[in-house]
Chains A and B, each alone.
Chain A
Amino acid sequence: MSQHILILALMVGIANWVFRYGPTRLSRGAGQGAGALARFLSATGPAAIATLVVASTLPMANATQVLPLVMGVGAVLVLWVWRRSVMIATLGGALAYALTTFAAAST
């Protein structure tokens, strides 16, 4: 195994563990109540996930991928409203994206 890759993985992995675990100890109680920090933390979840939705779809927003993207996002929305299941919405969205990509490539 490459030493370079192993060292890189260890540096990033240790940082990830510190990022994920550290704040659960350091800020214990700091996020409770109705203060500014509590409001900030309450908004963090939706903000983080919304950011990741945009960041992951932005590279797909080009001319060749826009139709599959619209179909994929549409399928996720429809399936979520219909079934309220993260798994069904995710898999259905991916399927719609794949099939639209295939159809677009075939025409």
Chain B
Amino acid sequence: MSNALPSTVRSGLVTALPIAMGYFPIAFAFGVAATGAGLSAAEAFALSLIIYAGASQFLALALITSGAPLLVAAFTLIAMNLRHVLYGPALLKAAGEAASTRHAWAWAWGLTDEVFGAALGEVARGRQFSEPFMFGLGLGAYASWLAGTLVGALAGGGALADWPVVQAGLSFMLPALFLSLLLSILTRPQVPVIAVAGLATVAGTLAVSGTAGILAGMIAGAAAGTLRRGRA
């Protein structure tokens, strides 16, 4: 039974506030890192505008500055974002059969890790899925990401050199956000899924690479959930 939480663009924007507050400093750090790596402010902003995937943007900086060939860099970054393939169907599964996808071409662009986690958490708490809500949620997060990047890029590469405490706090913002999102959707039946995903991530990262660890964790965790419930 729904508890009548609104599902408008405005409620989406309000729900995006925690993400926006988390995104801004991270994007700021990205803008600072990008200009510090030799990119112009316009190039840093373009990466956020066009790619809009935090972790892979930081990886893009490393690939660009290391002189990686275009196709190698593109393939690496695309592989890193493959996990996003799972988000739309998982969210729509939670939303139910009545969920509309007519304008998904617009709101699905905003399905980042955090937006996906927040949307899933809202649906789990009884908010009815709607496209306007998803649009507001995605827009709030996207706007914050772009604004943070722009401010960071304009501040310049050395902006945080004299602020080590701020720099340290910013470096933990993304892990803290992921952990908070995990807690917001946590239920007892998902504990084995989370444990398997975590172990597979560690194993994949140590054995191959960080990207391999991410893919291994997601696939192993989801597979564990499938098998466990299948036997029940």
Contact = CB atoms under 8 A, between A and B. Distances in A.
B109 A21 contact: yes
Interface stretch (B4-12, B146-154, B160-168): B160-168
Interface string A43-64: 1111111111111111010000
A4 B175 contact: no
Contact of B221 (A16, A46, A72, A105): A46
A56 B178 contact: yes
B97 to A, nearest CB: 6
Contact of A24 (B74, B104, B193): B104
Interface string A1-42: 110111111111101110111111101111110001011111
A102 B172 CA distance: 13
Interface of B: 17-19, 21-22, 25, 39-40, 42-43, 46-47, 50-53, 55-56, 60, 64, 70, 73-74, 77-78, 81-94, 97, 101, 104-105, 108-111, 113, 116-118, 120-121, 164-166, 168-186, 190, 193-194, 196-198, 200-202, 205, 210, 213-214, 217-226, 229-230
Nearest to B39: A5
Q: Size band of the A side of the interface? A: 35 or more
Contacts of A54: 197-198, 201-202, 213, 217
Nearest to A100: B168
8 contacts: A12-B60, A21-B88, A24-B108, A36-B226, A43-B229, A44-B218, A54-B198, A101-B164
B93 A38 contact: yes
A47 B218 contact: yes
Given A44-B90, A47-B193, A12 B81 contact: yes
A66 interface: no
